[in-house]
């Protein structure tokens, strides 16, 4: 299923960000980078949990029987992911500078 492929992709991206960006910023970063890294780490974990919950819920439901609810949930999680990535961009640039 495509949703589970997205879970795998997002998990790999989350792992990469935590290992390669957040952890070094927390370990070696200046005092102004550590709070940003902690905030991004928490935000990343939260959106990951939300997406996994969405996938778990809708993987076991007959989407045709509740199409409107499914459509609204899909639109909402897609928007949350977009908003998260947009908000994350400037802070990631700060950590990478």
The mean pLDDT of 20-42, rounded to a whole number, is: 87
DSSP single-letter state for residue 57: H
Residue 8 in tokens: 């795998």
84 close to 45: Cβ distance less than 8 angstroms: no
Phi, psi at residue 56, to the nearest 5°?
Answer: -60, -45
More confident residue, 36 or 2: 36
At 6 the pLDDT is: 87
Question: Is the per-residue pLDDT at 29 higher than 70?
Answer: no
Q: What b/e sequence results for 55-66 when a residue is b if at least 16 CB atoms lie within 10 Å of its CB, and e otherwise?
A: beebeeeeeeee
Question: Is the per-residue pLDDT at 28 higher than 80?
Answer: no
Give the domain extent around 10. 2-96
Domain count, the chain: 1
The mean pLDDT of 11-19, rounded to a whole number, is: 93
Q: How far apart are CA 1 and CA 97, in angstroms?
A: 38
Residue 32 in tokens: 């102004």
pLDDT tens for 36-86 read 999 999 999 999 999 999 999 999 999 899 999 999 999 999 999 999 999
At 82 the pLDDT is: 96
95 close to 33: Cβ distance less than 8 angstroms: yes
At 53 the pLDDT is: 94
Residue 63 in tokens: 């989407």
């Amino acid at each position: 299923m495509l949703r589970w492929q997205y879970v795998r992709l997002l998990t790999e991206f989350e792992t990469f960000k935590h290992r390669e960006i957040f952890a070094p910023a927390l370990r070696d970063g200046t005092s102004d980078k550590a709070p940003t890294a902690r905030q991004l780490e928490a935000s990343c974990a939260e959106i990951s949990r939300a997406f996994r919950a969405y996938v778990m819920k809708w993987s076991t439901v007959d989407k045709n029987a509740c199409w409107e609810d499914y459509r609204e949930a899909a639109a909402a999680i897609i928007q949350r992911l977009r908003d998260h990535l947009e908000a994350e961009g400037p802070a990631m640039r700060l950590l990478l500078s």
